[in-house]
Amino acid sequence: MATAHTEDRAMVPADAQGKPFAVATTFYSTTDLVDAIRAVRKKGYRKLDAHTPFPVHGIDEAMGEKRSKLGYVIAACGIAGILVAQGLQYWTAAVDYPLIIGGKPFYAVEFSIPITFELMVLLASFAAVFGMLAFNGLPRFNHPVFNYSHYARATDDGFVLVVERDGNHFEPTAIVELLNELGGDNTEIVHEDA
């Protein structure tokens, strides 16, 4: 059933494995996972992560995740694109190189809309991509949770719950017992360097 360590990790001395990073366990239904997350949060653990093979409804609320700030960054860059495009077009048409063509004004908003739209979309899309990478701490080519021996289940039929080290409020053996009581399977302590 549930084990605190796998056999191959048990053979390596604890100090050779590195500092404990987290405790990970596997659940086999979304209901069990969400219920376990709520129970772990009630015990005071806040630094949690869940790895699932598909999106799970209600998991963000259970984990206490706040709304992403990425939308604000995208909106700010989109507005910056509008202002830069309008300012540049006004300056070039009405200040730097004014030409009267067919009695038209030096600058007209109607003719500046396509360029404004394009620059707004360009800056907003750059903000979306690079902001998402920055907020998620990417690129990161390796993560300690990959040392969990059953991590591959998260891409197939398992739901992996990870309780990460969070200051002094991290007691691996107590967390292992808690996760086992909640129905976790293959519970083990994950080390930073395995």
Q: Which of 60, 56, 12 is nearest to 159 (CA)?
A: 56
| pLDDT tens column, 55-101 | 999 999 999 999 999 999 999 999 999 999 999 999 999 999 998 88
Rg (CA), the chain: 26
Asked if residues 150 and 26 have their Cβ atoms less than 8 Å apart, the reply is yes
163 DSSP β-pair partners: 23, 48
- Ramachandran assignment for 14, one of left (phi > 0), alpha (psi -120 to 50 degrees), beta (any other): alpha
What is the pLDDT, as a whole number, of residue 194?
52
| pLDDT tens column, 133-191 | 999 999 988 889 999 999 999 999 999 999 999 877 789 999 999 999 999 999 999 99
Cα separation, 124 vs 166, in Å, equals: 34
Give the residue-averaged pLDDT of 35-58: 94
Q: Give this prediction's pTM.
A: 0.74
For the stretch 138-147, contacts whose Cβ atoms lie closer than 8 Å and that sit 24 or more positions apart, written own/partner, are 144/21, 144/22, 144/190, 144/191, 144/192, 144/193, 144/194, 145/21, 145/22, 145/24, 145/49, 145/51, 145/190, 147/21, 147/190, 147/191, 147/194
Cα separation, 82 vs 25, in Å, equals: 48
Q: 159: number of CA atoms within 13 Å, CB side?
A: 18
What is the pLDDT, as a whole number, of residue 7?
41
Q: Give every strand in the sheet of 185-191, ordered side by side.
A: 48-51, 159-164, 20-27, 185-191
Cα separation, 149 vs 132, in Å, equals: 28
